Chains A and B, each alone.
Chain A
C-alpha cells in the first residue's frame, strides 16, 4: 500500500519567516495530495490540496508544490504568524482506489515564535 513520510517532525520559526514541510510518497499512482492543519484539541482541517495534473497551487500565504518524478510534495507558509502554530499533516490518495482512502504522514508540529 501507499506509504507517506513527512519531515521534519518539529519545526520552529520566527514570526515573519517562512516554513517548509516536506512529504514523500511511495505509490506513483497517487493523484491527490491534501494538507491538514490541526490546532490543539481540535479536528484536522483541510487548508490546501493539489492534484497530480498541477505542479503548484497557492492560497494567500500558503502554497503547495508537487514533484511527481521525485514523488514528493511540500507545504510552504510565508510570513508566518503565531496563529500558524499547529500540527500539519500531509496525505496522499491512490488513483482508482475504490475506498478513496487517504494515507497520512505522521505530522509536523510547527511553532511560530513571536
Chain B
C-alpha cells in the first residue's frame, strides 16, 4: 500500500464550514496528488505537489487549496464546503512511472 494513509476516513460536515483532509506517506516520495472520485466521472485531479511548498492546480481545483510543509504530509482544504464537494477523495504518490493510491476519504457535505 506504499505507506499511504489518509485522515479522516469518513467525514460529515455542513455547507460553509472549512474542511481539511490529510494525506501522509512514509516513503519520502516527492510527488503527491489529490483526486476526487464521483460516479460517471472517474478520477479527476484536484491539485498535486512536486516537493515541499511546491504545488500546482489540476483539472478541478476551484474551491480547493493545498499545502505541503513536510515531505510526508499533503493537506487538502475546502475553505467553505459546498454540497457539490460531496465525494470520495483519494491521495496518491508517484513511484517511478506509477501512482499508488491511499485508502480514500468519504466526505459528505450537508
A interface residues, Cβ below 8 angstroms from B: 1, 6, 32, 34, 42-46, 49, 51, 89, 93, 98-102, 104-107
- Tally chain B residues at the interface, Cβ within 8 Å: 24
Given contacts A43-B90, A43-B102, contact A51 B97 (CB under 8 A): yes
B interface residues, Cβ below 8 angstroms from A: 1, 31, 33, 40-45, 48, 50, 56, 58-59, 90, 94, 97-104
Question: Could you write out 19 A-B pairs with CB less than 8 Å apart?
Answer: A32-B97, A42-B103, A43-B103, A45-B101, A49-B98, A51-B97, A89-B43, A93-B97, A98-B50, A99-B31, A99-B48, A100-B94, A100-B97, A101-B58, A102-B45, A102-B99, A104-B42, A106-B41, A107-B42
In the bound assembly, the distance between CA atoms of A93 and B101 in angstroms comes to 16
In the bound assembly, the distance between CA atoms of A100 and B93 in angstroms comes to 11
In the bound assembly, the distance between CA atoms of A51 and B104 in angstroms comes to 27
Which of B31, B90, B101, B103 is packed against the most chain A CB atoms within 10 Å?
B101
Which residues of chain B are near A98, meaning CB under 8 Å? Answer: 50
The answer on a CB contact under 8 Å between A44 and B101 is: yes
The answer on a CB contact under 8 Å between A44 and B90 is: yes
The answer on a CB contact under 8 Å between B50 and A99 is: yes
Known: A1-B59, A100-B99. 17 other contacts (CB 8 A): A34-B98, A34-B99, A42-B103, A43-B101, A44-B43, A93-B97, A100-B31, A100-B97, A101-B33, A101-B45, A101-B58, A102-B45, A102-B99, A104-B42, A106-B40, A106-B41, A106-B42
